[in-house]
Amino acid sequence: MSTSTLVITGASRGIGLATARLFASEGWRVVNISRSPIDLEGAVQLGIDLSDAGWESAQSDELLASVAGSARIALVHNAGLLGKDSVPTLDAAHLARALQVNVIAPQQLNRLLLPVMGAGSSIVYVGSTLGEKAVAGACSYVVSKHALIGLMRATCQDLAGRGIHTACVCPGFTDTEMLRAHVGADEAILGSLAGSMTFGRLISPGEVAETIRFCSLNPVINGSVIHANLGQVER
């Protein structure tokens, strides 16, 4: 078994899949935590539903067994739940589910894996440009991504001296299944989003994967929020 292991959530598609494939191409063992299996030969698939707060007690042993013997672990919190909701209509149950997937599950994974993460390991959170601003109609996502940046900053401070670094990568509009589903696969909307970037196009999942890789391997960015958004046109 490789002594370097990537543990990533939500790697069955989009940014997660691109990241898993990139690490695997460089000899890392890949452990994917998601409800759907990953299309990557040799990857370990842990079929965990992170929206279920009780997953930790039921499947922690399986998770720890999957990283046994790893000298270095890159933990990438990529899974995310993006809903259409707003302050006037968002109820407690839907907000709680978004927080469970986007914030609480990452901390559950931190608590479980940190005891076996040695110096040189890393924790990378995949946030969003909406972690530092807001748009209408995505209340639970905005709230949870703001909280995720706070969790990353707390991680930096609480792990001081352990040789484990952290960062939050905040992608802009990336051409993923999640984005396309959110806009109803409307090409006009996708074109408008592309036009809001200074390069006039959507970001590719592979570009975000390269950014996650950089953050995983470079402790100098410890505690940083890294915006991977091609530059957004200010209006």
Looking at residue 140, its pLDDT comes to 97
Domain coverage including residue 74: 4-173+204-228
Looking at residue 168, its pLDDT comes to 98
Looking at residue 2, its pLDDT comes to 54
Residues of the chain with pLDDT under 70: 1-2, 182
DSSP string of the chain, one letter each residue: --SEEEEEESTTSHHHHHHHHHHHHTT-EEEEEESS--S-TT-EEEE--TTSTTHHHHHHHHHHHHTTT-SEEEEEE-------B-TTT--HHHHHHHHIIIIIHHHHHHHHHGGG--TT-EEEEE--GGGSS--TTBHHHHHHHHHHHHHHHHHHHHTTTTT-EEEEEEE-SB--HHHHHHTTT-HHHHHHHHHTBTTSSPBPHHHHHHHHHHHHH-GGGTTEEEEESS-B---
Domain CATH for 117: 3.40.50.720
Report the predicted TM-score, pTM, of the whole model to 2 decimal places: 0.93
Whether 129 maps to a domain, the answer reads: yes
Whether 98 maps to a domain, the answer reads: yes
Looking at residue 188, its pLDDT comes to 84
Looking at residue 1, its pLDDT comes to 46
Whether 189 maps to a domain, the answer reads: no
17-47 pLDDT, tens digit each = 999 999 999 999 999 999 999 999 999 999 9
Whether 180 maps to a domain, the answer reads: no
- How many domains in the chain? 1
Whether 210 maps to a domain, the answer reads: yes
Looking at residue 126, its pLDDT comes to 98
